[in-house]
């Protein structure tokens, strides 16, 4: 899950995009980029690191124009250390096009071969997003009337992308001289929402991964982009929308509600915060059946993401809720960091115990999820070191047992602590005296009972059901073998990438 933004405004958008990316930083910490359009010319700056590290004043000044897109990256394809894969991506034919993508294609290899053999296009990185951009460019070429592109042709091109691409994609695109295009895959796996801001000079439009970006930038939410739908805002600020998929099905990723999104966002009409409260309620019911609730002195959340669920769980069980861990506000999210050694070290740097909350107590620690077990292993040990008599653990999500192929970087079963282990074995592995996981049905209920639109979910990392229907055991074996063969995230390689980094930091399209 990356963060994407697109804007058509009446005044320069560089600062607005920067501020918006800061608000979406929790969706990607490895690279950031902005592309703006001024007439037919693009200006682009992208590079490795957090938003605040990538953009200096001189870079911001070099991003003029009233229309633009932005991206924060959490890689799922290619490498965290290949900065040529930072987004937006750019092609110059058949039109100037820049693109930012959140998600992950599952037929990248096949598309890459087609690109070379049939479309005669060169792909320069291992990023699926570069492939996606070239598919779109090819479809635009096929649908355009010579040099002219009209709204119908643009929507036909998106329909072509839907026919050829599999997997998850929420996308923002600028077509030079035409306007801002945004679309979502036919299952709506990754989120995308748009809104407006009325100014004396006309209506401004903002498209973003999460509604929190619209709130902070002063835009009013209009609605989510529907699965399979495309919206196009032309340079005259006219909005055009069309369903471009044959059989769209609302199947958003349930892990957005568990962890990925900010709690103050509303995704597909559902408040993320509210779903986390419900997860806490349902989890409390299961805790009652499985742990000695009467003996638990205190419920302690693992900051940040578990807080709403932990608070509601404590309230439901009638047990005091206390903040036993203090979070270093200067350390980012651990789960989306590249490299297991960095993640492990970061948990200790990020969280420290308030000893009084643990000394002589039987504590129930609550987290939103346990994925690799990096956090829970460390946290249980820290709770004991702080003097806890008993340490129980509850997870607001079910065990993560299956790889995610739709934009969350958990591609190998071997790295998931729950793969091949029972709940008791996992409890032993993390050193807890007892462990309770949310049931998958309760998790789905926590979201579904707040929505009249969502018919199904992508919950593949919990139940192994892949909504796009194209994921075979052989495919999973292949990506697992590829990852195990090339330890992409764990090689903390600096040298070659540094060079790339320097080149890219001065890139101007």
Ligand X SMILES: O=P(O)(O)OC[C@H]1O[C@H](OP(=O)(O)OP(=O)(O)O)[C@H](O)[C@@H]1O
Ligand Y SMILES: NC(=O)CC[C@H](N)C(=O)O
Distance CA 172, CA 184 (A): 9
Residues designated as active site: 2
Which one of 52-60, 73-81, 243-251, 302-310 is the stretch in contact with Mg ion (CB under 5 A)?
A: 302-310
- Asked whether position 334 contacts ligand X by CB under 6 A, the answer is yes
- Angstrom distances, CA of residue 141 to CA of 134, 157, 378: 10, 8, 53
Residue with tokens 């290899």: 109
- Asked whether position 1 contacts ligand Y by CB under 6 A, the answer is yes
Distance CA 275, CA 442 (A): 11
Q: What region, left, alpha or beta, does residue 46 occupy, with left being phi > 0 and alpha being psi -120 to 50 degrees? A: beta
Structure tokens given for 427: 């409890």
Dihedral (CA of 406, 411, 416, 422) sign: positive
- Site for ligand Y (CB under 6 A): which residue of 129, 251, 316, 346? 129
Distance CA 185, CA 249 (A): 10
- Asked whether position 390 contacts ligand X by CB under 6 A, the answer is no
Dihedral (CA of 122, 124, 126, 132) sign: negative
- Site for ligand X (CB under 6 A): which residue of 282, 372, 390, 444? 372
Q: What is the CA radius of gyration of the chain?
A: 23
Nearer to ligand Y, 85 or 139 (CB): 85
Site track 193-232 with ligand Y (rule: CB under 6 A), x = hit: ----------------------------------------
- Asked whether position 411 contacts ligand Y by CB under 6 A, the answer is no
- Asked whether position 76 contacts ligand X by CB under 6 A, the answer is no
369 binds, among ligand X, ligand Y, Mg ion, none (CB under 5 to 8 A by kind): ligand X
Cβ–Cβ < 8 Å for 443, 279 = yes
Distance CA 367, CA 334 (A): 13
Positions 91 through 110 that interact with ligand Y (CB under 6 A): 101-104
Distance CA 240, CA 148 (A): 17
- Site for ligand X (CB under 6 A): which residue of 219, 335, 358, 392? 335
Helix, strand, coil in percent for the chain, rounding step 5: 35, 25, 40
Structure tokens given for 223: 């609605």
- Asked whether position 371 contacts ligand X by CB under 6 A, the answer is yes
Total residues at the site for ligand X (CB under 6 A)? 19
Which residues are known binding-site members? Answer: 305, 367-368
Which residues are known binding-site members for Mg(2+)? Answer: 305, 367-368
- Asked whether position 374 contacts ligand X by CB under 6 A, the answer is yes
Positions 275 through 314 that interact with ligand X (CB under 6 A): 302-305
Nearer to ligand Y, 46 or 322 (CB): 46
Cβ–Cβ < 8 Å for 370, 395 = yes
- Asked whether position 367 contacts ligand X by CB under 6 A, the answer is yes
Which one of 69-77, 136-144, 156-164, 421-429 is the stretch in contact with ligand Y (CB under 6 A)?
A: 69-77
- Asked whether position 305 contacts Mg ion by CB under 5 A, the answer is yes
Cβ–Cβ < 8 Å for 2, 58 = no
Measured in whole angstroms, how far is the alpha carbon of residue 141 from the centre of its chain?
Answer: 30
- Asked whether position 407 contacts ligand Y by CB under 6 A, the answer is yes
Which one of 102-110, 139-147, 245-253, 370-378 is the stretch in contact with ligand X (CB under 6 A)?
A: 370-378
- Asked whether position 369 contacts ligand X by CB under 6 A, the answer is yes
Structure tokens given for 41: 């010319």
Distance in Å, CB of 334 to ligand X, minimum: 3
Measured in whole angstroms, how far is the alpha carbon of residue 172 from the centre of its chain?
Answer: 14
Using CB under 5 A as the criterion, which residues of the chain lie in contact with Mg ion when the complex forms? 305
- List interacting residues with ligand Y (CB under 6 A): 1-2, 73-78, 85, 101-104, 127-129, 407
Q: By the criterion CB under 6 A, which residues form the site for ligand X?
A: 259, 302-305, 333-336, 367-376
């Amino acid at each position: 899950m990356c963060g994407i933004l697109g804007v058509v405004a009446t005044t320069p958008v560089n600062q607005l995009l920067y501020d918006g990316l800061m608000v979406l930083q929790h969706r990607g910490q490895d690279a950031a980029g902005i592309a703006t359009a001024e007439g037919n010319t693009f200006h682009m700056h992208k590079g490795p690191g957090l938003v605040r590290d990538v953009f200096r004043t001189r870079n911001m000044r070099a991003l003029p124009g009233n229309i633009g897109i932005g991206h924060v990256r959490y890689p799922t394809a290619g490498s965290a250390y290949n900065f040529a894969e930072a987004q937006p991506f750019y092609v110059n034919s058949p039109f100037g096009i820049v693109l930012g993508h959140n998600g992950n294609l599952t037929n990248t290899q096949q598309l890459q071969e087609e690109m070379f053999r049939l479309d005669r296009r060169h792909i320069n990185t291992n990023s699926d997003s570069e492939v996606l951009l070239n598919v779109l460019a090819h479809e635009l070429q096929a649908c355009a009337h010579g040099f002219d592109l009209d709204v119908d042709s643009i929507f036909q091109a998106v329909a072509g992308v839907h026919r050829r691409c599999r997997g998850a994609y929420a996308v923002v695109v600028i077509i030079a001289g035409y306007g801002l295009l945004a679309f979502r895959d036919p299952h709506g796996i990754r989120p995308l929402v748009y809104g407006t801001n009325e100014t004396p000079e006309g209506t401004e439009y903002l498209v973003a991964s999460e509604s929190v970006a619209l709130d902070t930038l002063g835009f009013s939410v209009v609605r989510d982009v529907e699965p399979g739908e495309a919206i196009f805002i032309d340079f005259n600020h006219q909005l055009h929308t069309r369903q471009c998929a044959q059989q769209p099905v609302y199947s958003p990723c349930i892990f957005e509600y568990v962890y990925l999104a900010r709690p103050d966002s509303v995704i597909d009409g559902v408040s993320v915060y509210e779903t986390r409260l419900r997860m806490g309620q349902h989890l409390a019911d299961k805790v009652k059946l499985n742990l000695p609730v009467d003996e638990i002195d205190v419920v302690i959340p693992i900051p940040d993401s578990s807080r709403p669920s932990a608070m509601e769980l404590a309230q439901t069980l009638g047990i005091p809720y206390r903040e036993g861990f203090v979070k270093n506000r200067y350390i980012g999210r651990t789960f989306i960091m590249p490299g297991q050694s960095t993640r492990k070290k970061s948990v200790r740097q990020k969280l420290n115990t308030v000893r009084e909350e643990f000394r002589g107590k039987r504590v129930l620690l609550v987290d939103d999820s346990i994925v690799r077990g990096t956090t829970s292993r460390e946290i249980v040990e820290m709770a004991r070191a702080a003097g806890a008599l008993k340490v129980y653990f509850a997870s607001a999500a079910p065990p993560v047992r299956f790889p995610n192929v739709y934009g969350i970087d958990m591609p190998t079963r071997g790295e998931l602590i729950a793969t091949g282990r029972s709940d008791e074995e996992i409890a032993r592995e993390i050193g807890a005296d007892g462990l309770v996981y949310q049931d998958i049905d309760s998790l789905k209920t926590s979201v579904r009972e707040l929505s009249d639109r969502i018919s199904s979910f992508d919950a593949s990392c919990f139940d192994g059901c892949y909504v796009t229907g194209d994921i075979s055991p052989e495919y999973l074996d292949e990506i697992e073998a590829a990852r195990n063969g090339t330890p992409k995230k764990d090689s903390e390689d600096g040298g070659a990438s540094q060079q790339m980094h320097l080149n890219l930091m001065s890139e101007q399209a």
